[in-house]
Amino acid sequence: MAKNKTQSGTDIQQVKKQNAQSQQGQGQYGTEFASETNVQEVQQQNQKSQSKKSQG
């Protein structure tokens, strides 16, 4: 097996390249979405979802 592939066949170099490209775009989108997300509201929704799962 080639050294640049993971056990599942993922090309490590390709992933690193994509990660680097995505890091460059963080300033453009990262903070924009972060500011629109209400963390407490999301956590509450997650708790409701979990409690429904355990009941059902």
Give residue-wise pLDDT tens across range 43-53.
Answer: 898 898 888 88
What span, in angstroms and rounded, lies between the C-alpha atoms of 17 and 8?
A: 18
Q: Which residue is listed with tokens 């429904």? A: 52
Please indicate whether residue 23 or residue 50 has the higher confidence score (pLDDT).
50
pLDDT at 21: 75
What does pTM read for this prediction?
A: 0.34
Pull the structure tokens for residue 40.
């407490």
pLDDT digits 0-9 by tens, 28-48: 555 555 566 778 888 898 898
Single-letter amino acid, residue 4: N
pLDDT at 54: 82
For residue 11, give the nearest of 3, 19, 23 by alpha carbon.
3
